[in-house]
Amino acid sequence: MNRAYYTDSYTLEFTSEIVAVVTLDGRPAVILDRSYFYPTSGGQPHDTGALRRGDEVARVVDVIDRESDGAVVHILDRPLVPGPVQASIDRDRRFDHMRHHTGQHILSQAFVRAAEAETVGFHLSPQSVTIDLDRADLSAAAIDRAESLANEIIWSNRPVSVRFVTREEAAMLPLRKTPPGRDGHLRLIDIDGFDLTACGGTHVARAGEVGLVKVARTERRGSTTRVEFLCGQRALEDYRRQQEVLRRLGAALTTGAAELPGAVARLQDELKAARADLKQRKAALLALEAAQLLAAAEPLGEARLVARVFAGREPDELRRLAGALVEAGGVGHAGGVVALLGLAGERSHLVFCRSADAPGAMGELIKPALAALGGRGGGGPTLAQGGGPAAGEAALALILTQAAALLRG
Ligand SMILES: [Zn+2]
């Protein structure tokens, strides 16, 4: 096994030899005599790239660390036969992984020093990079301290070196993390004077190449805290996106970024006040409408009957209008009110409502009306309602006339 990336993370173009051709889960794959391709392991995803021989090009779509013998298996999008090949690794993806993996070592040590929190998990994907810390009670200030320390280390641009030691030698060293796993030698990543840990991933050669580490969000998970962070290019892209959001919000509210929280709070207050005012005015308008309808009501024995069809309103408003009619009907009048209201439109609706002292069983009265409408619903003696399919104003008026006739006996 020759894992060239162990000692050199920067070589992305190399010549090699296909020494074995295999099939993995039905996909063509090859093993090279030496490879700089990183196989998925230790929380870091594999490299991608290409193998070329003359005009023949196969994409390396996955790289696997074969458990049985530790071979690095390159999964291809098409088969290649044994022999020499020119290999190339996709630069942006590899460098992104190097920056984030090195940034992770720095951030993990920073959390040890600034917050006494140990890293118990690491995950790197194109969507997000996270570490899991063994504490659930991290304050925002502690997270800021760790983030600041990590960036100081990055900007010090100290060397990041790789060396191999035996397990006996490793036992004498102040390692942050010692993996179980393979016998023999351990590969140590030394961030000069700051962090020493065993790791099999790809890293940058100087801390400054990480550029920046920014904690994006934290999430408490049981007794641990998941910290999502961004380094280098991803941090820059995130910064751009956030600035664009702020710019658009600022333009919409004609204010600067710093004034946005205050401007949004004022908007929320105004909206709340406007909603309360609207609610009040709607109720007043419904009461007024109810009074007008009552003024034109037909007599129904001692009571008054309001039978009307509306269009372009909501069923909920129809219910409130019925309520307002019943409420206003008792003022200065004995005998009560019966309201038979219909809503025409794409979805029809009926509300039959009466005051306690008015005649009629609304639940019974609405049954034939809904049957004529082809709708469903029901209710009790004083309030019943139901909805139906599309119906015109004339059809609903007829249904209400029939209901009124039933009511009159
Ligand atoms: Zn590492």
Q: How far apart are the first and last CA of the chain?
A: 99
pLDDT, averaged across the chain? 93
CA of 359 to the centre of ligand 1 (A): 83
Locate 76 and state its tokens: 């291809």
- The Å distance, Cα 7 to ligand 1 centre, comes to 13
pLDDT by residue (tens digit) across 32-45?
999 999 999 888 89
Question: How remote is the CA of residue 154 from the centroid of ligand 1, in Å?
Answer: 15
In the numeric block, which tokens belong to residue 324?
């307002």
Compute the average pLDDT of residues 281-285: 93
Ligand 1 center to 33 CA (angstroms): 24
Distance 174 CA to ligand 1 centre (A): 16
**Tokens 């200030």 sit on residue:** 141
Q: Given pLDDT bands bounded at 50, 70 and 90, which one contains residue 181?
A: low
Please give the helix or strand (H or E) that residue 176 lies within, else none.
Answer: none
Q: How many CB atoms lie within 10 A of CB 69?
A: 8
Give 152 Cα–ligand 1 centroid separation in angstroms: 19
pLDDT category at 3 given cuts 50, 70, 90 is: confident
CA of 281 to the centre of ligand 1 (A): 65
Read off the pLDDT of residues 47-87 as tens digits, 9 standing for 90 and up: 999 999 999 999 999 999 988 888 999 999 999 999 999 99
Beta bridge partners of 44: 41
E strands, 168-300, in order: 185-191, 195-198, 213-221, 224-231, 298-300
Read off φ and ψ for residue 231, nearest 5 degrees: -125, 160
CA of 21 to the centre of ligand 1 (A): 30
Q: What is the pLDDT of residue 1?
A: 47
**pLDDT of the residue at 379:** 95
Whether the pLDDT of residue 183 is over 70: the answer is: no
How far is the centre of ligand 1, averaged over its atoms, from the C-alpha of 88 (Å)? Answer: 22
d(CA 106, ligand 1 centre) in Å: 10
Summarised one tens digit per residue, pLDDT across range 362-378 is: 999 999 999 999 999 99
Neighbour-count burial for 71-97, b at 16+ CB within 10 Å, e otherwise:
bbbbbbeeebeeeebebebeeebbbbb
- Structure confidence at residue 2 (pLDDT): 65
Report the SS3 class of residue 320: helix
pLDDT the model gives residue 293: 95
The full 3-state SS of 48-95, as one line of letters, equals CEEEEECCEEEEEEEEEECCCCCCEEEEECCCCCCEEEEEEECHHHHH
Find all residues with CB under 8 Å of 351, minimum gap 6, and list them.
315, 318, 319, 321, 322, 339, 341, 343, 383, 384, 385
Helix (H) or strand (E) holding 402: helix 393-408
Distance 20 CA to ligand 1 centre (A): 29
- The residue with greater pLDDT, 183 or 223, is 223
The amino acid occupying position 358 is A
